[in-house]
Chain A
Amino acid sequence: MNYPIRIAALAAVALFAVPAFAAAIFPIDRAHFLAGSRFDFKVEFDRIVPEQAIRITIDGVDVATAWGKKPQYVANEDGSNASSVLVRDVVVPAPGKYLVAASDGLTTQKVVWDVYATGPRRAKNVILFIGDGMSVANRTAARILSKGIKEGKYYGQLAFDDMPHMALLGTSGVDSIITDSANSMSAYTTGHKSSVNALGVYVSRAKDNLAHPKVETITELVKRRTKMAVGIVSDAEVEDATPAGMVAHTRRRADKDIITEQLFLSRADVIMGGGSAYFLPQKTPGSKRKDDNDFVDLFARDGFRIATTDAEMKAAAANPATTRLLGLFHPDNMDGALDRRFLKKGTVDKFPNQPDVADMTRAAIEILSRNKDGFVLMVEAGLIDKYNHPLDWERSVYDTIMLSNAVQVAKDWANGRNDTLIIVTPDHTHGVSVVGTVDDAKPGPEMRDKVGVYSEAGFPNYPEPDQDGYPPSVDVSRRLAMFYGNFPDYYETFRPKLDGPNVPAVSKDKLYVANEQYKDVPGAMLRTGNLPRSADTGTHTADDALLTAAGPGSEEFHGFMENVEVFRVMVDALGLGPQPAKVVGKPAKAKVPAAQ
């Protein structure tokens, strides 16, 4: 398919000299970002343009003058037939609308930036909880299982249900309506939209993953402007997209070895999660590094306490001398609540001492709150997404209950302080819905005959939850019927996967086919996928993400908002905008009224 199109494109270039590249300016048109936050400015022309023909202005002022820096001119970027101009590490210090124009002598590209200030600091601390991929159905099912429901009314609410402020978030990125956890997290941590797989950068045409125009993360901003502490907690690998979004600048989230270095250089004070394999030098069996750097040793030499088990984490947190902690509890992603607490599947036999995200949250707050200047803490329940992908709803719902427990820890700590903004939000959603119940007692030869909808659904019969809110058994005779709407070929078993996390499809000659492991489960039904055969699991959706929040600044959340506004609310609550801090270059000249 690609081949003839490429040939056609080349022919067009040859015959009509149509430019091979689109012109672009980064930050992009309608970027809405924080005054004083750093970024790399880049203009890409669609052809080779001699340096002397280029004129780039911000509100009519030449960029070199505005920023007091000579722009870097690249005649043939990465050997292409197109020129670029870069100015690294600049700020727009004053709020307002700015018209940016780039002319190659023939045509002019224009973008408008909307730069905002913030009010004075109102929150001492910010805790951002990410339920990765947490969809509305995850919340609903978690509430049913964890709190119980009778005659249409729940017996209780999840910890993030009763927060006073709520918003629907648009999660789409620069390149696509569908986001991934890299650019969606990057939107929260930088206030700039990005593209799939990218962290802390705008995706330009650069070939080097690390050469794309960067935008400043909240970790960098907080560390540059304040003496606050920063914590990064996840049950995924700590280099995975969401925790990486706190510190990373790369076009490819898969650069996990580089992201580990960026974590080390970030000056974050608490880092906890899985992913130890990227901390080990390549000579250590189990390492996923391609060099000899031993990051466990480097962190330790930098004054970090190191914990590899739940007990070590708790002991370190209890020690009043601990102000910095690296907790690595698994070489890969950690195991979820259903496996750790009940089924003992996944890798729980190999790693029996992994902490729970609620306990990681408690330990992180304990350590970070020793900083008198406050802290920014990000806590991710990353496995909600890791289980929604393989259509394993039970595991994703148990981890949603776990996120509720973690949020409760934060709420209990913040209760009465009125100085901590707590935000709970997915980064994107999955196509999952609660459609009724599956009742083994219903007649019928096929499992689909046992699916109850409307009045036939009734209520499930999960046992009473334990003290932490988890039903001790997920394998009950009348269970939730929860289905995914976007899936590869797979066998639907209508039952929880008690032997380990679901693997719906397996690779065969580069395409994905239904995993025959489930073919012989009684009642299993082949569902022919509605996704391309290159899809190995269910995929993210563009459905809005539901955010709830409490504490100073949370009142700014309402209605529908773009995901980048989460960053604005956080920096506004922390008063990180109009600071007289040292800025790079000279202030840009007067702002113009709405340009264009």
Chain B
Amino acid sequence: MIRSFDLRRRAWLRAASGLLGSATAGLRLPAFADATSALAFNEIYRSEGVLGLELSAKSKALSGKPVRMLGYMAPPLKPDVRFFVLTRAPVALCPFCNSDADWPSDIVVVYPRERSGWAQDGLPVAVTGTLELGSSVDRETGFVSLVRVADAVVVTLK
């Protein structure tokens, strides 16, 4: 029990520190890997109020630049959809499957570079790609997002 927890934690630490280990063996790192900045969920917004969230200086500065984020892959909208939702914590509910469920307010939408091979929900992942800010509507699904990581390389951490 404790062992698996430790392993998982180590994987997170490796990913967080940029020392990507065996989990990424065989994957080509994106060309901009060196310039990539880590962005944590609690760094996206400066404040969270009833009447809206305010983006942090850090996320504004990283807009259009390569970032790496850690989070959990939420259940996909449909098997063939082009994106997935990255959440701070594992989602107990699948908002797409359950009409009673809503997404947390600080989700990030990830558009993976590879169109397949990443759709395993519930897993912790490291996502590396270009940070995009601002309201955007997914053309296929109508899903509205405010923060995105585009052209992303997705590495499963577990």
Contact = CB atoms under 8 A, between A and B. Distances in A.
B92 A280 contact: no
Interface residues of A, number: 45
A253 interface: yes
B55 A285 contact: yes
B33 interface: no
Contacts of A170: none
Contact of A505 (B45, B92, B120): B92
A328 B50 contact: yes
B1 to A, nearest CB: 6
A507 B50 contact: no
Contacts of B74: 507
A510 B121 contact: yes
B5 A520 contact: yes
Contacts of A253: 99-100
Interface string A268-292: 0000000011001011111111100
Q: What 7 A-B pairs come out closest when comparing CB atoms?
A: A254-B99, A286-B53, A285-B53, A508-B122, A308-B50, A284-B52, A506-B90
Contacts of A286: 48-49, 52-53, 105, 146
A508 B121 contact: yes
B94 interface: yes
Interface of B: 1-2, 5, 45, 48-55, 74-75, 90-94, 97-100, 102-105, 120-122, 134-135, 137, 142, 144, 146
18 contacts: A241-B100, A254-B100, A286-B48, A286-B49, A287-B144, A287-B146, A328-B51, A332-B104, A503-B92, A504-B92, A505-B92, A506-B90, A509-B122, A512-B92, A515-B92, A520-B2, A536-B93, A537-B92
A285 B99 contact: no
Contacts of B50: 276, 308, 328-331, 351
B135 A507 contact: no
Given A254-B100, A329-B50, A506 B146 contact: no
User: Counting chain B CB atoms within 10 Å of each CB, which of A180, A330, A508 scores highest?
Assistant: A508
Contacts of B54: 285
Interface string A345-361: 00000110000000000
Given A253-B99, A288-B102, A290-B144, A507 B52 contact: no
Contacts of B48: 286, 331, 350
A559 to B, nearest CB: 32
A296 B51 contact: yes
A348 to B, nearest CB: 12
Contact of A280 (B52, B93, B98, B137): B52
Nearest to A257: B144
Contacts of B146: 285-287
Interface string A490-533: 00000000000001111111101001000110000000000000
A193 B146 CA distance: 39
Given A285-B54, A520-B5, 19 more contacts: A237-B102, A254-B100, A256-B102, A280-B52, A285-B53, A286-B146, A287-B52, A287-B146, A288-B103, A289-B144, A308-B50, A332-B104, A350-B48, A390-B92, A506-B90, A507-B75, A510-B121, A520-B1, A536-B93
Nearest to B90: A506
Given A283-B135, A329-B50, A331-B105, A510 B93 contact: no
Contacts of A57: none
A374 to B, nearest CB: 31
Nearest to A196: B99
Nearest to A296: B51
Contacts of B102: 237, 256, 277, 288, 332
Given A350-B48, A506-B122, A507-B122, A282 B135 contact: yes
Contacts of B134: 283
B105 A277 contact: yes
A241 B92 CA distance: 20
Nearest to B74: A507
A332 B90 contact: no
